[in-house]
Structures are given as C-alpha cells and as structure tokens.
Amino acid sequence: MVAMKERGVDMMYGRWLIEGAPRVLLVDTSSGYKYLDEWKGDLWNAAAIPSPAEDGETNEAIVFGYLVAWFLGEYISRDRTRAVVAHFHEWLAGVALPLTKKRHMDVTTIFTTHATLLGRYLCAGSVDFYNNLQFFDVDAEAGKRGIYHRYCIERAAAHSADVFTTVSHITAFESEHLLKRKPDGVLPNGLNVKKFSAVHEFQNLHSNAKDKINDFVRGHFYGHNDFDLKIHYILHRRPLRISEQGTGSNMTVVAFIIMPAQTSSLTVEALKGQAVVKSLRDTLEMVEQGIGRRLFERCLSWKEGDNMPDEKDLITSQDRVLLRRRLFAMKRHQLPPIVTHNMVNDADDPVLNQLRRVQLFNHPSDRVKVVFHPEFLNSSNPVLPLDYDDFVRGTNLGVFPSYYEPWGYTPAECTVMGIPSITTNLSGFGCYMEELIENSSDYGIYIVDRRMKGVDDSVNQLTNFMFEFACKSRRQRINQRNRTERLSDLLDWKRMGMEYVKARQLALRRAYPTSFDPAEDFSDIIGGTEQKISRPFSVPGSPRDRTGMMTPGDFASLQEGREGLSTEDYIAWKLPEEEDAEEYPFPLTLRKKAVPVEQPHSPDREVTTNGDNSVKS
C-alpha cells in the first residue's frame, strides 16, 4: 500500500461494518485514470482486448483491473513464503486475470461468473436460449449488441484463471458454450442462516409480519374490504400471467408485485387510505377506553336488583358522532388503485399493461387483488413500512418463474424464512433443490418445468401450483412452512463455504503440482454422489438426511449434533463416528482431470517445498 501510495494511488484498508466484519481493501480508481490510455494499449498488446473510449464502465473495469494486478505484484514480491490465492468475481473484476498470466505472476487464480454477459443480453431479446446455446456465433452476437469488448474481457478472464467456476450447473452449461471453457466446478451462493431455538419462533415472526401487511391491506382497500383477512399474500417480482382457474372460490389472493420502475411520487389515494384507517383505529381506541372506564364505574356501583349495564349507557353521544365521522370518511366512490405510486410513463409500463390486459382492477368481484409497488421496500416508507426481509416473512408464497436466473437469491431467502416458493428448473436454485430433494413440492419448493415444456404448458403448471397452494388449509400451510424452514441448512454458508475451500485446493494443486503428493487420494476434494432427501412420511414432515436416517424433529438437529470442523473462518460438520469422514458426499463437486495437470502458466516459476508441503518460490 505504501509503495502504491508513493506512486499516487489512494488505497484504504479496514473492516466492513456488516455481520462478520470482513477485512477489505478499498482502491480509489480515480487516482489511476491518468494511466488509462497507457493501460488500454497494454491490454490490447497483452490480450487483444479492444476498449472503446465512450464506454465508461469498461474504462472503470480496466483501471480497477490494472490497479489490482499492480497491488498483487507488489504484495507477492514482499512475501515469497506463502502461496497467494486471488478469487475474482464477474467480468468487471476480471481484467487482472490475463495480466497475471501474461506477467507470469506467482499467484493462484480463481474466476467465478455469476451470469454471462452474452447470456443476459440474449435472454433479454426473447430468444430460445437454452435450446440454441451450441449454435450461437458468440462473436457476432456480442458485436450486434455492442458488448464485444466486454465479452472479450469475460472470456479472457475465464481462460486465464487456474480454476474457472460458476454459481450453478445451469450457468456452467451456459458458460461452456458461450465462454468456450468448461467450468471446473460450481460455487453456489449461500446465506447466513440463523436457527431458532424453537420451531414456533419463526411462525410467530411470520404472524407478526403478516399483521403489518394486513394493516396495509386494510388501508389500501378501505371502502372495499368485502373480503376477510383470511387471505393469501403472494410475493411476485415480474409481470403476471393469470388464468381463470379457480373461479367461484371464496378464497381471496392479494398478489404483491415488488419491481422498481420510474415513479414521481406516492399516489394521493395510497396515502389517504393509510391515514383514514389510522384515524379510525385511533378513534376506536379512544372510544374503547371510554367504554371500559364507564363500564368499570357502573360495575362498582352495581347493587343487587339493578339491571346489567346497557350498551346505550356506555356509548355517549359524542362517541357516536366521532364514529359517524370516521364511517363517512370510509366511503369510497372509486376502485382501490392497483399501483401505489404515480408512474412516470403509465401507458408504457409492462406490468400495468399486463394487468389491464387481464382486467385485474381490484373490483369487488375479483378474487385476485393486485398491489404493484414500483419501489424497493424499506421501513421508512409511509405506505408500506416494512423492510424486505420482514415483508417476505409475512407473505404466504413467493412466485419467481424466471427464464434466466443463474442462481436466485429471492426463493432462497424465502426458504430460509420458511416461506414456500415457486421457481423453475432454469434457475440455479431450482436445479440445486431438484438435485437434493425428491418431490420438492412437499417441502414448499415448487419447480416449474420451463426447459422441456412450452410456454403455455409452463404457465398452466405455474397456475396449478398456485391454485394447489391456495386450496391448502391453515394447518397444511403451517406444516409446509415447518418443512420449508428445515431446508435452510442446505443453503447455509457453513455448507456452501466448503465448495470455496475445495476450489482453492484445486487451484493450488494445479499451480503447484510438485508441492502435493501425486498418489494422494483426491476424494476429499471432489466428493461423491449425493443421495436425495426423500418425501416426508409424517405431518409435519421429517425429511431424510443423506445417510438415510430420519431426523426426530428439526432437520438441523442431526447436522448440529455432528462433530464440527473448526477453523478460524469456517465451521462445518462431518458424518458420525461410524462413517468414514473422507467419503462424505458433497452435493456439488469439482471436476477432476484424468491426468496430472501441469503448471498452467508461469513457465519460469521455480517451485520448491520445505518438507511440510508449504510452498516457497
């Protein structure tokens, strides 16, 4: 850092103020723009990557990449006793990868793509993406969309890394065809899972959050509350396609569409609704206190033979006037709005146009009510004062039928919170759960087939899933939430983090093959085949662990009972004593090459060992 600061590059080292307080190094890229033209020329000479002057995002990526490569060079020149593993995510951080290879830097590299650039653009164009992956002319397609230079950076990063990984198997399939390198492994995204000491605790959180959503619904639909609040709340983030199946049902579904769009302000109706209901609640609380006080006084003075207190004596004329005022304020001569904000371009908004097409206007006869909230949720919102996590907890079902979703954090977050969700077999999360669980719908993970079925069939399957869920009784929904929450251990970083450990191990073995015993068993890295969790046999369900043993209660109890693997930054588990820990079958494994891999780059790198398998250059 000192050496770079002496050359005019500003850097800062510290702790990130989030959970875990990780160490971070901040680089001021503005201090490196004076070298931009020089670095662009060097990048062309080193990797034949073009860089248009008008693309500011690419310029930022080039400056950042060269500063990172500069820092790595300074660091490894001062510490030659330890191997350095550098892990790069996405193309924006990938410029440094071809530089480290070209300069023969003594650093081991991993590159992880969370979604390919070309894949995003192709899917945005409504093409039959997955059935034509092998036929795309990638250079031509990238050139048509004006991202050829960005695509070159991403492809160079994938080919320059010692180990290339993606976040899911579906993205690995995509990367193999678009980036022309088969990924060495999959590093799924995890979540920090907080387990509750008792099952009822997360059910209580769901109930409390749902009460807050109920308060919003009362205000939004004031004057048209012709349905009770025994309703389903469905979280959705994309335009809806709604079928008429289930007409005649007395169940009301309120579908929330949380999707950012251009807005100017909150609508007057949305603000008025919350104010009217708040005034009614405040007035009734005041009347209730007065009735209680007068009833108490009447009971104290009651004598044998007196009549029981009558409601006419408890409600005063002033109370009646206040109640009448509030009831007149509840009158409404127009339908509740389907959107909470004033839209900048109402006529061209795809969500509103879709709702108009299917004629969902929150009419009293509509059994599906719609609330489009075109803004991210936060607790300071005057209309819907809930953070995203609390809002998700309060819903009954998450619907995320994505066509292009390399992983899918939203259904994963629903699972951790015990909320059933609908996903697809084209999302990384859906593929991951489909691999691990038999009959995943029994655990609240509904997977729509969007790969082998046409659009209409997929829509019908999605509709059937939603209708099936809406027909469940309250007890069935509670049981299913219990099952869903038990799956949270499958998404915990304590489990997913092991994939990162394995990727680093593989990278070190490839970069320093002479530092490892070639006869050493590689099974501790690549693992075996995972057995699926079978369908539940009881209500509430008790999922089977991969060992085939039934858990007596919570799915995590068996895992938490296992002996932990303790390190400074990772806590994992291993099988019981009667099992061989080295044969633990990880769900997603790194690919093993059939022959020993030679040093991929750095032909002039001399590697020796100190007798204890530590690396010295």
Q: What is the pLDDT of residue 526?
A: 52
Contacts of 340 (CB under 8 A, 6+ apart): 220, 266, 267, 270, 371, 372, 373, 374, 375, 383, 384
Model confidence at 555, pLDDT cuts 50, 70, 90, reads: very low
Position 364 scores a pLDDT of: 86
Q: Write the CB contacts of 245 (distance below 8 Å, at least 6 apart in sequence).
A: 463, 464, 467
State how far Cα 107 lies from the chain centre. 31
Q: Specify the residue for token string 């020329």.
A: 41
Q: Which residues contact 595 (CB under 8 A, 6 or more apart)?
A: none
Token representation of residue 85: 């593993």
| Residue 165 clears pLDDT 90, i.e. is over it | yes
Residue found under tokens 């079928």: 243
Beta strands in 495-558 (DSSP E): none
The pLDDT assigned to 388 comes to 87
C-alpha 77/C-alpha 158 separation (Å) is 25
**Rounded to an integer, what is the distance from CA 345 to the centroid of its chain?**
29
Q: In percent, how much of the chain has pLDDT > 70? A: 81
pLDDT of 244 > 50? The answer is: no
CA distance 86 to 75: 12
Does the pLDDT at position 456 exceed 80? yes
Topology of domain 2-186 in CATH is Rossmann fold (3.40.50)
Burial per residue of 112-125, b for 16 or more beta-carbon CB atoms within 10 angstroms, e otherwise: bbbbbbbbebbbee
C-alpha 285/C-alpha 278 separation (Å) is 11
CA angle in degrees (0–180, nearest 5) for 288-291-294: 150
What confidence tens digit (pLDDT) does each residue in 349-393 have? 999 999 999 999 999 888 889 999 999 999 999 999 999 889 999
Q: Domain 199-269+334-490 has what CATH class?
A: alpha beta
Residue span(s) of the chain under CATH 3.40.50.2000 come to 2-186, 199-269+334-490
Q: Assess contact for 425 and 400: CB atoms under 8 A.
A: no
Phi, psi of 393 (to 5 degrees): -60, -30
Strand partners, 571: 566
Nearest of 403, 378, 400, 406 to residue 188 by alpha carbon: 406
Residue 247 has pLDDT above 70, yes or no: no
